[in-house]
């Protein structure tokens, strides 16, 4: 793993992890210096990234970061959570995308025939309740297929390297765990199992999404239960801007 180091508003690296750990032990870098490696959503203090390397030589002394650099660290640590309306916009885009495979599956599995049969029933018999009940029974299979397609769509995209569905990608959003890392397949499945349950019980979006409007980190019910976040920025946006190309070669100078 290669690590970027931020100090005094400048970025240095990338450096090998083993070198950064050695510099922490020797005092060449401060625990308050910022670090970033691929997979992190934001810069974090080196003390948070490598807490096991803080036992430095007793005689070493690292001066504290100046006030300007401390302000930079605070700004970098701030997470930019996606707003309710951003997430709603992504949901609308995903809904439009899902309509294509869902409609195809519904048609191929007999959903259209069931609809036409219901129309014939209603035209020849005013018993609306019977026609609707027959339609519901006939479309159980297609509806299950549509539900599974939606579940797999969200789960596989959010567990992918993009950490986002096409709707979220379009609005430059991504899904992370509480530490800013990408989701495992299991965590993505748990997150969307909660969404699926609410959809089947008819509670979406009132239960899952409405909580985004008032929770501190703009988390919906499915985020809270799966311990996930939706934040601004694509995965590729997390890389340092205009990084220094010096790779260190065993020393750190900042």
82 vs 25: which has the higher pLDDT: 82
Share above pLDDT 70 across residues of the chain, in percent, rounded to a whole number? 74
pLDDT tens per residue, range 226-251 = 899 999 988 876 543 333 334 444 44
Contact 198, 228 (CB under 8 A): no
Q: What is the mean pLDDT of residues 76-90?
A: 78
DSSP-derived letter for residue 210 is G
Domain ranges of the chain: 2-79, 84-232
What is the rounded CA–CA span in Å between residue 143 and residue 215? 33
235 vs 155: which has the higher pLDDT: 155
User: What's the whole-number average pLDDT of the chain?
Assistant: 76
Q: What is the pLDDT of residue 4?
A: 83
Q: What is the pLDDT of residue 198?
A: 60
Residue 35: exposure state from Cβ atoms within 10 A (0-12, 13-18, ≥19): buried
Which of these, 139, 28, 10, 125, lies nearest to 69 by C-alpha position? Answer: 10
168: left (phi over 0), alpha (psi -120 to 50) or beta: alpha
Instruction: Say if residue 117's pLDDT is above 50.
Output: yes
């Amino acid at each position: 793993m290669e690590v970027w180091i931020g100090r005094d508003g400048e970025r240095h690296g990338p450096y090998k992890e083993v070198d950064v750990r050695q510099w922490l032990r020797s005092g060449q870098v401060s625990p308050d210096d910022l670090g970033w490696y691929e997979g992190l959503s934001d810069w974090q203090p080196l003390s948070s990234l490598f807490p096991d390397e803080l036992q430095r030589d007793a005689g070493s002394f690292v001066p504290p970061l100046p006030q300007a650099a401390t302000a930079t660290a605070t700004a970098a640590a701030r997470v930019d959570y996606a707003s309710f309306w951003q997430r709603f916009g992504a949901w609308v885009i995903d809904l439009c995308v899902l309509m294509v495979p869902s409609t195809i599956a519904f048609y191929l599995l007999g959903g259209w025939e069931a609809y036409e049969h219901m129309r014939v029933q209603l035209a020849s018999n005013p018993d609306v309740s019977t026609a609707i009940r027959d339609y519901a029974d006939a479309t159980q299979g297609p509806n299950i297929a549509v539900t599974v397609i939606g579940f797999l769509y969200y789960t596989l995209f959010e567990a992918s390297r993009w950490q986002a569905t096409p709707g979220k990608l379009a609005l430059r959003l991504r899904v992370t765990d509480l530490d800013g890392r990408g989701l495992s397949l299991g965590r993505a499945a748990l997150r969307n199992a909660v969404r699926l349950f609410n959809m089947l019980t008819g509670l979406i979006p009132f239960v899952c999404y409405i909580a985004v409007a008032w929770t501190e980190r703009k988390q919906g019910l499915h985020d809270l239960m799966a311990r996930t976040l939706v934040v601004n920025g694509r995965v590729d946006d997390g890389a340092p801007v205009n990084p220094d190309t010096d790779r260190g070669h065993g020393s750190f100078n900042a």
